[in-house]
Structures are given as C-alpha cells and as structure tokens.
Amino acid sequence: MAEEIIIVQGNNVLTGDVVVSGAKNSALKLMAATLLGRGTTSLHNVPLISDIAIMSEVLRCLGAQVDRQDHTLVVDTAPVEKWETPYELVSKMRASIAVLGPLIGRFGQARVAMPGGCQIGARNIDMHLVGLEALGVMFVTDHGFLEATTPHGLVGAHVVLDFPSVGATENLLMAAVVAEGTTVIENAAREPEIVDLVNMLNAMGARITGGGSSLMEVEGVPSESMHPCEHTTVGDRIEAGTFLVGGALMGGPLTVHGIDPSYLRMAVMKLESMGCDVQTGADWITVRREGPLAPIDIQTLPHPGFPTDLQAQFMLLAARAEGTSAITENVFENRFMFAAELARMGADITIEDHHALVRGVDGLQGAPVSSTDLRAGAALVLAGISAEGETRVHNIGHVDRGYEDYVGKLCSLGAEVARATVDDVQPSC
Ligand code: EPZ
C-alpha cells in the first residue's frame, strides 16, 4: 500500500508568525471529562489531529453525540449508557485510558481495554490503579480488559503518588470529584494541562483546589450535580516549543502565537542559554539567533522541569551546537530512538542508558529517516529543513497524531516541505 511521507528540502528557512493549536494533551482529557456532565458541552480550540478523532470515536462508542464545528467540539453525553471501551480503539490510542476515571465517576463501574505500551516506554498504569483503589475502586483484569467496580461507592482518600504522573493525576481527579467526602492528592502532576482540566471540572460543578501545585484537594459533590459547560482548551506548549526550536535552529525570527509563555519557562531558559534571544508577550513568544548555538545540559523532569516532549527537538539543536551537550531522559525509559535517525543525517550522538552525549557538528545531510514517536517525527522534519539536500520522513502517522497541519504551518514560515505518497516519489537509485 502506498505510504504517505513528508519530503523536506534543506532551504534552512523558518521565519515569521504561526498560531499554535489547542493542546492535544489537554483536549483529550477534557473530552473524557464531558462524561461527568450529563448534557451538551462545547469545547473550543480543539486541534484537528487524529488522536482527537479517535477519542471522538471512543465517546461515540459509549453512546455520546460528538459533532465537530471547525475547532469546536460539541459533545452530548446525556445518551451515554455504556461503560465499556472497545479494545480496537484503546489499542489505537493509549490515552483513551483517560475515560476510566470519569466512567467510574458516572457509573460506579467501567470496563476498559488495558492500554498497551508504545515505542517510548511500557507506559504502565499502576499508579492510576493504586490511587483509584484508595478511593474504593476494585479492579479485576479479564482477558486484556480492566473491570472496575465500586462495591461500597467512591469514598474520598488521601493519596500520595509515587511519581507525579499526568495520567494518574487526571484519572484520580475525574473520579474524586464525585466521591463521598474529600480527596487529597499529594505529589500530583503540575502540568498546565492539569490546570486546564481542573478549571473545566470546576466549571462543571466540581470543588478542586490546588490545581498546578503538587498538593490538590477535592471536595466530592453528588454526581448528579455535575453539569456540562463551555470551555476553551489552552494552547499547545509542546507544539509551540517545537516551532521555537525550529526558529532557534534556522535563526528566525519566528513568533508563536496563542500560547501562555509561562508554560515554557524552562524551554525558554534553555534557548537563551544556547545563545538565542527570546521575547515574550501575553500570548506570544519570539525567538531569534545571530551567533553560534552553545552546547547545553538538559534533564527531562515533570513540570515545571524540562518537558520530555521537547527532548528530541532540543537534541536536534544540540547536534548543531559548537561543543558537547548532555541530555538525560528521566521520564520515559526508551525515548532516545530519535538519536539513531538523526545520526543517519550526520549527527554525532552517544547513548549510555538514560544519558545522551551530543557532539555538535557543522551541518547535517538530508536522508530517508523514520519517525519513532510524534515528537521525534516533528524534530526530523526540522532537521531536514536545516540539512543539505532532501530528507524523506517516513511513519508520519505519528506526526499527524499530535500536530495539526504541521506541513502547512511550516510552509507558511518559508520551509519547502510537502506530503507525498511513496508511489509519487521517484526511487533514488
Ligand atoms: C502524558 O503521558 C502525555 N500524554 C505525554 O505526552 C507526556 O510525555 C507525559 O504525560 C509526561 O509529561 C498525554 O497527555 C496523552 P505520565 P502520561 O503518567 O500521562 C510512568 C506526547 O508526546 N508511569 O506522567 O502517560 C510512565 O510509564 C506524549 O504528547 C508509571 O510507571 O505520562 C512514564 O514513564 C508522550 N505508572 C512516566 O511514569 C503509572 O501508573 C510518566 O508518565 C503512570 C505512569
């Protein structure tokens, strides 16, 4: 079957203004949260990406009505009567596990397919389960499915997470909001997408305090008191960071609009340390660079630490720096696969367990490469723009999962990038 790829010419141009879409890693959970309000919720600034389409299918499978009107999703969950998600959809997108908490909150039970791992790691959900068990949920695994019941109802508890897991915090929140009594979540995730979810849940009638801090308190309310709302998804900080890296790599100036700069403090600090000039406004960030890229040391950590979802993009910057950089990946166990693809373009990277030593090189050459996860795919396209010659990026389904119209936005910034099917591309012989 013909495969769609992205073809990139190394013209080294990426400058101008681009508006980022709504945050994928928020919108998916906001969609799941609509299950807690029996009625019609309008979600604005929802990105047009394949993961959103899959989550829409998951909600439709449960009985919801989901209509898209441009970047607004209108979700009516009044008709939802099912609490089981099909394996086929969960296996397509592991983030569907985000419906576990709200289904338990709404029905007191759920049957969801166990999410698989992915290229970057096992993606276990033990913290989700331990936390929900503390709230009175009982789990049984049954032929690849997770059966959740609450024989004595959902009861508030004091939960301490081993690790500030984003997904575990979200599932816990969406069950705790309708538990009997108060829930405390210690060592909660602090990502901006968590704050976005807290704001929407509170607009639906929940009583959550401490969103964005590691100590959150949830005062349970009756399930039937939760109601639909209208909510606008925050801008996608990882998409914004990806374009800013492109601007830093090519020199810019490049401005991203529709993003709260406070979401990217660490990434901006690292860009400045590498020799970039960064200006910010209420909802925009501009990057430019005249001098050489300086090497950098990066440790990926939960927010507000350096985001793992920008690790591949900064590895690309480090590959072009004047000197040697060190990158440590502390969040996922296998998120350095991008390095091997970048090496095919001439990068000089040594991987030792969770550490990458990146020796800067003067230039990269275009080459056929393969995207190993959505962030690596986006970074490979940027690498191609900065390289000499043509780059063909395969497995671009990963990119389409998390970047709305990535090719179109790059072209609007002067890049020579296009989608093509392999049949259209003359084999280089
Ligand atoms: C979310 O994944 C994001 N995905 C990821 O973005 C992001 O990298 C990650 O948070 C960290 O910021 C979505 O929101 C859809 P975690 P999530 O639970 O919730 C381990 C992207 O590129 N863990 O914070 O799965 C886990 O295996 C994607 O947009 C357990 O061991 O992240 C991982 O190593 C990639 N047990 C680490 O913790 C658990 O119960 C962080 O996971 C839960 C997590």
Least Cα distance to 181 among 214, 215, 149, 154 occurs for 154
CA 333 to ligand 1: nearest atom:
34
| pTM for the structure as a whole | 0.97
Q: What band does 427 get if pLDDT is binned at 50, 70 and 90?
A: low
Q: How many CA atoms lie within 13 A of 313 on its CB side?
A: 24
Output the pLDDT for position 121: 82
What average pLDDT does the chain have?
A: 96
For 39-92, how does the pLDDT look when each residue is reduced to its tens digit (9 = 90+)? 999 999 999 999 999 999 999 999 999 999 999 999 999 999 999 998 888 888
Contact 315, 290 (CB under 8 A): no
The rounded distance, in Å, linking the Cα atoms of 383 and 249 is 9
Contact 132, 101 (CB under 8 A): yes
Q: What band does 118 get if pLDDT is binned at 50, 70 and 90?
A: confident
Would you call 405 helix, strand, or coil by DSSP? coil
DSSP readout, 98-163? Answer: GGHHHHHHHHSEEEEEPP--BTTB----HHHHHHHHHTT-EEEEETTEEEEE-TT--B--EEE-SS
And the tokens for 225? 């008191």
CA 120 to ligand 1: nearest atom:
35
Pick the range with the lowest mean pLDDT from 101-105, 187-191, 309-313, 372-376. Answer: 372-376
Which amino acid residue places its CA nearest to atom 19 of ligand 1?
A: 167
For 340-363, how does the pLDDT look when each residue is reduced to its tens digit (9 = 90+)? 999 999 999 999 999 999 999 999
β-strand partners of 369 = 393
Residues with CB under 6 A from ligand 1: 25, 28, 95, 121-128, 163, 165-168, 308-309, 331-332, 374-375, 402
Output the pLDDT for position 393: 98
What's the whole-number mean pLDDT along residues 13-36?
98
The rounded distance, in Å, linking the Cα atoms of 422 and 87 is 31
For 366-394, how does the pLDDT look when each residue is reduced to its tens digit (9 = 90+)? 999 999 999 999 999 999 999 999 999 99
Q: What band does 255 get if pLDDT is binned at 50, 70 and 90?
A: very high
Provide the 8-state DSSP code for 173.
H
Output the pLDDT for position 115: 85
Contact 22, 233 (CB under 8 A): yes
Provide the 8-state DSSP code for 50.
H
Q: What band does 2 get if pLDDT is binned at 50, 70 and 90?
A: confident
**Ligand 1 binding pocket mutation candidate from 125, 238, 309, 329 (most atoms within 8 A of CB):** 309
Beta strand pairing call for 368-370 and 390-394 = parallel
Which amino acid residue places its CA nearest to atom 42 of ligand 1?
A: 165
**Ligand 1 binding pocket mutation candidate from 20, 24, 25 (most atoms within 8 A of CB):** 25
For 145-189, how does the pLDDT look when each residue is reduced to its tens digit (9 = 90+)? 999 999 999 999 999 999 999 999 999 999 999 999 999 999 999
